[in-house]
Amino acid sequence: MQAVVVEREIGGATLRVETGKLAKQASGAVLVTYEGTAVLTAVTEGPPRGGGDFFPLTVDYRERTYAAGKFPGGFKKREGAPSVKEILTMRLTDRPIRPLFPKSYLNEVQIMSTVLSSDRENDADVLSMIGASAALSIAQLPFHGPIGAVRIGKTEEGLVILPTVSELAESSLDLVVAGSADAVCMIEGFGKEIPEDEMVEAILAAHEQIREIVGLIEELREKTGWKPVEYDESVDTSLYDKILASHKDAIRDAKATEGKLARAAVIDEVLAKVKEELIDPESDDSPTEDDVYNAFHQVERRVVRDRILEGVRPDGRTAEEIRPLYSEVGLLPNVHGSSLFQRGETQSLTVSTLGSVSDEQRVDGLQEEYTKKFMLDYNFPPFSVGECRMIRGPGRREIGHGALAERSLVPVIPPADKFPYTIRLVSEILESNGSSSMASVCAGTLCLMDSGVPIKDPVAGISIGLVKEESGFAILTDIMGDEDHFGDMDFKVAGTQRGITGIQLDLKITGIDEQIIRDTLAMARSARIEILRHMLRTLKRPNKEISPNAPRLYRMKINSEKIGMVIGPGGKHIRALQEETKTDISLEDDGTVTITGLDAAGCDAARDRIEAITEDVKVGKVYKGRVSSITDFGAFIELVPGRDGLCHISELDHGFVSSVTDICKIGDTLEVKVIGIDDHDRVKLSRKVLLKKED
């Protein structure tokens, strides 16, 4: 069994790509290894599905728990539906690859990546992207690659190539870039308010490493004896030419109609006329409805792009003009916070819920399990675009858009010691005509402020588009649906006035150069500042108080050695305390105590009780204690759980006491004062010093 192996040093370690040993019945398969992490990626091709002009490319990425020596969590000890991390990696792999196939190629292609080994420090997601490119590059498919992919981090020492999980925890940047040897074709990154110039520097540094990876894959091609695939990319344009000649002006006029739904209705009328003219049910040579629709769609694309390059956008705006903005907060009466943000015909209603530590999201995967205290979920119902369709759970798009908005807001979320609440935002997209994920960022910021979350800075987001032809290109601020659909780029940028917190580039062309990246980020910053000004006119700063509907939450620190005193035997003390005060109490190993309740009085009572239980007994302090036992020489009184003292019979009263039981019995509550603590930590108490002495 002869394997072909290529290696190259990337980021201080060896990147290894091997083929010819595993999964040999696939169209192309490679094993990509970096340090202790290995990913097997296999590519297969199938016949076209038929109908429409959509390229049926499917990417699947799975993390086998055995790769990290773990069992799957939960009752069933077998991997099931893909996790959020796996879905996001599928999208990350798909996005740079899809545009690199010919427009006319409609065969089904499936890419499957499986993590076979994980050292828990080197993430497998970028290796999956490299593996997909390598497997496609040695398969007999019309793939216009190869491409490479790399992750960049940023520490005090500078940029880090392929940072480990530990390094990312200390990094101000988590940036993934994919591209060919000549251009960048995909970007996804998140940072702690990274200035535009520094972001460009990181992207260019990533591209240098991408060239090395592309060279590695080309070496693999050469060693395997791969030969270019002969594929005829020419298409029959006769139907397109006929529609362009006869209906170009009608389509052009229809595209000038104001309003998304009204514009679509007029376009449908033109399409109906075209079908009536060109389709003859009685003729065997007549084009099909699909043929006419696909050709009409291409003419529509041509018209929209030509108008944009002439300086005329579908809704008449200038290239840098943002659609009308509207926002408000506090819409809903019984939630913890709410906001509405509208940009043109895109509308997000975002609602917040504040909770306790017990509401944090546990995340389990190949790395160590951790919890999230901030979450943002994104919903995209069909009515938001005026459609009827099957309603299922969240799809890959909804998960991806939610993750983009969430991670764009994470850098401004206050740390737990300043705001200990768990925060969940839900963005309900009620209307959509372009960049609803960035609307979710804007609405999310306003909702956090309405909820009383002391965010570091407000965050806004915008999407920048591109139409690029040999004759020139146009960059567009705040793209609407048609500009996204018929354009070449969707470049989303979110951030504060100080810098970028989230960035995502998707292309329909093979790549863009440095100048377009710089121009796009400059336009995005200008638009972002304008949107931030609008948002701050709606709500200048976070509310000082959280909603009265939200739970009260207090955090305190106790001596970790006294956690057992709060919990009590078998949890007896903490259960009783929670029942009495109507609160929820959680304790961490370091002594952090979080108290959550529906009203402040209950939380205050629980806090006072915990302070009393855990504080050190002090000489001179007065306590109300319970008599726990009685002897001939005095009474033992429990001052706090697990801590008692002796009130000698001579200290019970000013007069003579013949028997302790004359003064108290077991279970009585006595007010006593600490008068001493001896070298053996024994507490001496007195009752009589608190009594008024009779003459």
Interstrand relation of 374-379 and 422-431 (parallel, antiparallel or unpaired)? parallel
- How far CA 307 is from CA of 92, 253, 303, 474, 619, in Å, comes to 32, 11, 6, 11, 86
Please give the biggest Cα pair distance in the chain: 125
Residue 490 known to bind ligand: yes
The pair of three-digit structure tokens given for residue 516, joined into one six-digit string: 């377009």
- Given CA atoms 563, 569, 572, 575 in this order, what sign does their dihedral have? positive
Write the single-letter amino acid at 593.
Answer: V
Angle at 284 between CA 280 and CA 287, to 5 degrees: 55
Q: Is 192 helix (H, G, I), strand (E, B) or coil?
A: strand
Residue 618 burial class via C-beta count within 10 angstroms: exposed 0-12, middle 13-18, buried 19 and up: exposed
Rounded distance between C-alpha atoms, residue 82 and residue 89, angstroms = 10
Residue 486 CA to its chain's centroid (Å): 27
Nearest residue to 578 (alpha-carbon basis) of 550, 605, 611: 605
Nearest residue to 136 (alpha-carbon basis) of 82, 104, 90, 98: 98
CB-based contact 16:32 (threshold 8 Å): yes
Nearest residue to 40 (alpha-carbon basis) of 65, 57, 23: 23
Rounded distance between C-alpha atoms, residue 691 and residue 185, angstroms = 84
- Given CA atoms 275, 279, 285, 287 in this order, what sign does their dihedral have? positive
**Taking the CB of residue 449, how many other CB atoms lie within 10 A of it?**
24
CB-based contact 438:463 (threshold 8 Å): yes
Rounded distance between C-alpha atoms, residue 225 and residue 205, angstroms = 31
Nearest residue to 103 (alpha-carbon basis) of 285, 257, 295, 251: 295
The pair of three-digit structure tokens given for residue 650, joined into one six-digit string: 């001579």
Beta strands across the sheet bearing 583-587? 552-557, 592-597, 583-587
Write the single-letter amino acid at 67.
Answer: A
Phi and psi torsions of 569, nearest 5°: -65, 120
Write the single-letter amino acid at 84.
Answer: V
Q: Which residues contact 224 (CB under 8 A, 6 or more apart)?
A: 4, 19, 20, 138
Rounded distance between C-alpha atoms, residue 393 and residue 381, angstroms = 11
Write the single-letter amino acid at 481.
Answer: G
Nearest residue to 425 (alpha-carbon basis) of 343, 504, 336: 336
Rounded distance between C-alpha atoms, residue 493 and residue 500, angstroms = 7
Q: Which residues contact 653 (CB under 8 A, 6 or more apart)?
A: 663, 687, 688, 691
Residue 484 known to bind ligand: yes
Which neighbouring-strand residues pair with 631? Answer: 634
Q: Which residues contact 420 (CB under 8 A, 6 or more apart)?
A: 357, 553, 555, 594
Rounded distance between C-alpha atoms, residue 84 and residue 403, angstroms = 9
Nearest residue to 469 (alpha-carbon basis) of 311, 309, 234: 309
Nearest residue to 271 (alpha-carbon basis) of 288, 249, 287, 247: 247
> What H or E segment, with its residue span, contains residue 430?
strand 422-431
Residues belonging to the binding site are 484, 490
Residues belonging to the binding site for Mg(2+) are 484, 490
